[in-house]
Amino acid sequence: MVLNDHWLKYYYHNWFTGKLSDFLGLFYFPLFLSALVTIIQRTPLTRSRLFFSILLTDLSFLAIKLNLFINHEFVKVLSWLHLPSHFVMDQQDIVALISSYFTWVWGYKFIKNSNNSSRLLN
């Protein structure tokens, strides 16, 4: 993701690098959000936490990609945080939501393996 956002986009700014960012962001951000909440709450990752992290990420992505006002406000917040960026409003980016399926599959497999491991320890 870092390679794409900081190198590939700079040298090969095209539809592929843009879609790749969307797919990777929609895959990794819910996992990051779930992990962050898990660490803060000091509780194991659950299916419901993973589900709501994916849902929040997807709804935010849709809002930023489809609503001009939300898009501009999000860019302002990022600028205020000294993270200058822009988000192109492209309805075709919605195809990247398919990443959520893969996030769910990978996260669910992790949860299932974690539960099996904890049973072995007890």
Which stretches in the chain have pLDDT values below 70? 1-17, 84, 86, 115-122
Concatenated DSSP letters of 30-50: HHHHHHHHHHHHT----HHHH
Q: What is the pLDDT of residue 15?
A: 58
3-state secondary structure of 14: coil
Q: Give the model's pLDDT for residue 1.
A: 56
Q: How many residues are present in the chain? A: 122
Q: Which two tokens stand for residue 111?
A: 């949860």
Q: Is 26 in contact with 99 (CB distance < 8 Å)?
A: yes
- What is the per-residue pLDDT for 88? 75
Cβ neighbours for 1, distance < 8 A, ≥ 6 positions apart: 21, 24, 25, 28
Q: How far apart are CA 61 and CA 55, in angstroms?
A: 10
For 1-122, list the strands marked E by DSSP.
Answer: none
**Residue 93 confidence (pLDDT):** 85
Spatial separation of the C-alpha atoms in residues 89 and 100, rounded to whole Å: 20
